[in-house]
Structure 1
Amino acid sequence: MLKKPKIARGTRWAGYVCSLFGWLALSNIALAGDVSREQFFSSTLGYDYPYTIYLPDGYDTAATTPYPVVYLLHGSFGNERDWATRGNLPQVADRLIEAGHLPPAVFVMPGSRSWWVDGHNEAARSAFFNDLLPHIETTYHVGTTRPLRGVAGLSAGGYGAVNFALERPDMFAAAAALSPASYVPVPPSNSSANRHPAFLNEQGQFDRALWEQLNYTAHLEPYRLQVTPRPNAEHSDTPPVPLYISAGRSDVYDAEFHARQLRQAMERIQLGQVRLDLYPGGHTWRVWRASLPAALNFMFQHVGASVEPIGE
């Protein structure tokens, strides 16, 4: 008769420990948000519009309230995968949501061939507002009103985020610009803006007039008029958009100087609603990864702040 083999006590405990760690690993995976790359046909562009999307753990299409949504814009010659693969957005979002610093939120990381402008190569700004936002808001259970929207970006994406917030303060509750390429009066000679198809005219030359027409300085006065209370009014119809700015102290494009200029211009309009953080480093992902948690924490003091928690 065969006897049942005896399992040593140490071996048995090792099995329990392995099972426990395996369960914990699976639990960590289950708690993570879902990241996927998607696309849809853009009638403005005439071709497919790509984007990467982060959906928080437990994302529920039947939730009683829609999810806050932040649009994250990539930099010059970047793509829709950058924030997820190089910027650590999924890991940062997971950590901040789990810690309770952020509510469960959706992050949309669109792709563009432009500087988020209607430039010489594509109508990126129009495609963002006319095609991407309606697509996201009909496809996913996200906010469709100002209190539940934010916009952020790095470098050229920071340029775009600032412009979007100034042009449409009625649409965004907060904005963040990491090392924004919002150069005044024109980009430095080493900036890729000087050779980017968005700003090259038919002769292949940098279009200074277009740059000045599209840069944030052209939007400041219309923005001020929108967000400043009229005489005898306590509040304006459209509140100012709180703005987070960051830059590396050794940025090769002198981003610290231009970030300070941007802060000063914005503080003249909305004192106390602009924050500037400076980090050691240059125009690199190291700086952007370092400043992303602070940027999101700042934004979510306003995005979704007046909305009841998502749930049954």
Structure 2
Amino acid sequence: MRAIMVVLGGLALSSVALAGDVSRAQFFSPTLGYDYPYTIYLPDAYDPQASAPHPVVYLLHGSFGNEFDWATKGNLPQTADRLIEAGHLPPAVFVMPGSRSWWVDGHNEAARSAFFNDLLPHIEATYHVGTTREQRGVAGLSAGGYGAVNFALERPELFAAAAALSPASYIPAPPKNSSAHRHPAFLNAQGEFDQALWEQLNYTAHLESYRLRVTPRPEAEQGDTPPVPFYISAGRRDVYDAEFHARQLRQAIERIQPGDVRLDLYPGGHTWRVWRASLPAALNFMFQSVDATPAVLPDSQAE
């Protein structure tokens, strides 16, 4: 294990406390025209020379959040360490990107396009991670859950599983107290909330094309792409009524893929306490589908 220390948002994470390494990096994004930041967790068993790549999960932050949130507030490194050590997860890589948007091509930046066109190729060229659907997952909380749902529905050929914690996937519109009403991603030139853009980008706009891709045709035994198993969670006292919207989301996806959606409800609100509590269940669910084949060390390093 490499002995390093990185400081994320004022919280020091060291190799003494963690089995995996956590670091921050950035690269120039042609889509955005500026540097794209991300935090990355590499498991203790990470080996760039291993014969098999490590599975990778992309974790999206919430509204007005940043690339540090999952590591400093969500306890992702500690949770991953514990689950990997217990054998519940393979030695997986977790990428926590930063975005100024709600993971959409909104009024302020092309976050969706930058994720697919710039971030994924960069991560796969820089780290020894899986480049196939079977080795890739996506998850997020709140606005990041909104993004994770949209990404999986729009591009099911890229993700083996998805998780959305308190997803801000509100229909027909976000509640008045939602930050979506003041986020530059959804504010038009007049500074007003763009309801048409919200409807154009929300998960309901992707459901039919997703259904057609994952549902077997009469002449075929299976669809062109397997369904993406979904884990959804919410707090029962969420100020944005996330439980109601999570139930709606579950029903919409279950109509397409019965038995491939799980909904967990937790005591609490729209808080990190709920998201930290649901993260282990979300990861355990996802890694029932994300390739769990451990990376194989070269003969020279095998015991």
* Common topology (TM > 0.5): yes
Residue 18 of structure 2 contacts residue 77 of structure 2 at CA under 8 Å; is this kept in 1? no
SS of 2:16's partner is helix
- Check whether the contact 2:156–2:227 (CA below 8 A) recurs between aligned residues: yes
Match of 1:238 in 2: 225
Q: What are the Cα deviations for residues 180-222 of structure 1, in whole angstroms up to 9, with x where unaligned? A: 0000000000000001000000000000000000000000000
User: Which secondary structure state, in structure 2, belongs to the residue aligned with residue 72 of structure 1?
Assistant: strand
- SS of the equivalent of 1:130 reads helix
1:188 to 171, 175, 178: 175
User: Deviation at 1:234?
Assistant: 1.2
CA shift, 1:226, in A, is: 0.3
Q: Partner of 2:296 in structure 1?
A: 310
Q: Name the structure 2 match of 1:179.
A: 166
1:75 and 2:62 correspond: yes
In structure 2, what is the Cα distance between the partners aligned to 1:112 and 1:293?
Answer: 24
Matches within 5 A, 1:33-44: 33-44=20-31
2:126 counterpart residue number = 139
How far 1:309 sits from its partner (Å)? 4.9
Structure 1 residues 309 and 137: CA distance shift in structure 2, 3 A: closer
CA RMSD in angstroms comes to 1.1
Bigger CA drift: 30-39 or 199-208? Answer: 30-39
The one-letter code matched in structure 1 to 2:78 is: Q
Aligned to 2:277: 290
The share of aligned pairs that are identical, in percent, is 85
Shift of 1:97: 0.1
Displacement after TM superposition at 1:311 (Å) = 3.1
Unaligned regions of 5+ residues in structure 1, if any?
1-27
Query: Is residue 30–residue 57 contact of structure 1 (8 Å, CA) maintained in 2?
Result: no
Q: Which amino acid aligns with 1:78?
A: G
Deviation at 1:31, TM superposition (A): 6.5
User: In the alignment, is residue 127 of structure 1 matched against residue 114 of structure 2?
Assistant: yes
Q: Tell me the equivalent position of 1:63.
A: 50
Rg larger in 1 or in 2? 1
Distance 2:59 2:225 in 1: 23
Partner of 2:96: 109
Q: Which runs of 5+ in 2 are unaligned?
A: 1-14, 299-303
Would you say the 8 A contact 2:53–2:295 is kept in 1? no
Match of 2:78 among 91, 108, 122: 91
TM-score for both structures, normalised by structure 2? 0.92
Query: SS of the counterpart of 1:122?
Result: coil
CA distance in 2, matches of 1:240, 1:196: 32
Task: Measure, in 2, the Cα distance between the counterparts of 1:121 and 1:292.
Answer: 30
| SS of match in other structure, 1:29 | coil
SS of equivalent to 2:37: strand
Within the candidate set 180, 193, 200, 1:213 is matched to 200
Superposition deviation, residue 30 in structure 1: 8.3
Q: Report the Cα distance in structure 2 between the residues aligned to 1:163 and 1:310, rounded to whole angstroms.
A: 33
Which amino acid letter does the alignment assign opposite residue 310 of structure 1? V
Following TM superposition, by how much is the alpha carbon of 1:232 offset from its aligned partner in structure 2, in angstroms?
Answer: 2.5
Residue 235 (structure 1) shift: 1.3
Segments ≥4 residues shifted beyond 2 Å: 28-31, 307-312
8 Å Cα contact 1:67-1:310 kept in structure 2: no
